[in-house]
Each structure stands twice: as C-alpha cells, then as structure tokens.
Amino acid sequence: MHTAYVIVTLLAALMAGFSGTVLLLRAEWIVKALTDYAVPRAWWTPLGLAKAAGAVGLVVGLFVPVIGVLAGAGLVLYYLGAAVTVARARWYAHIPFPLVYAAPVVGALVLGHAG
C-alpha cells in the first residue's frame, strides 16, 4: 500500500505542478480557457501559485503527513472550485478537466489514510 501511496502522491504533485507552471508561464491554451471562463486576470498568478504550493505540499507530505493532508485538501477544494467556475461559464464539456486533476489528489488522500 505504501508504494501505491507514494506513486499516486507523486503523480498528483506532478499534475498540480504542471498545471500551476503552465498558468504562471501563461501558456496560450490556459490563457484562452481562463478568458473563456471569465476568470479575472488578477487572479491568475495567485491561482498558479496555489497549485504550485499544493504540489510542493503533497511531496513534503510524504515526510510530514499533516502537510500532505492540508495540501491535498486545499487542492481538492481548488479543483472543485475550478469545476464550478467552468460550469458557471457554461462550458459543461470542460468540467471533467479539473476533476481529472483532482482524482489523483483524492487517491493520495485515501491511500495515505489506508496505510
């Protein structure tokens, strides 16, 4: 179980880190999406930093479990908020995207408490 927990946690951290990085670097495809969803430009950097911090927190959580739980909870809330934002923008076909990013975080939280 411990190996699965480490692998899923690292996958979740990589995905959150990637997501935060492309937002901070203003990748064209993410800028278009955030514009389409009417996310204010002033929020983009804090949102990218939140995802990056969550990724770091997941990795730190492998050594300090409470940090991982807090980071995981924060990321789950972040991605649920993203799904709500997408739904409010009426881009219903895009709702699965934040949920795909949330899934390994939920998996890491579950596996971390199963062992």
16-68: per-residue pLDDT in tens?
999 999 999 999 999 999 999 999 999 999 999 999 999 999 999 999 999 99
| Residue 38 CB partners (closer than 8 Å, separation 6+) | 89
* b/e sequence 63-94, b meaning 16+ C-beta within 10 Å: eeeebbbbbbebbbebbeebbebbeeeeeeeb
- Dist CA 90 CA 10 (whole Å): 32
What is residue 1's predicted lDDT score, i.e. its pLDDT? 62
pTM: 0.94
**The residue to which tokens 């949330």 are assigned:** 102
What is residue 35's predicted lDDT score, i.e. its pLDDT? 96
What is residue 113's predicted lDDT score, i.e. its pLDDT? 83
Let me know: does 58 contact 72? Beta carbons within 8 Å.
yes
Q: What confidence category does residue 111 fall into, taking pLDDT thresholds of 50, 70 and 90?
A: very high
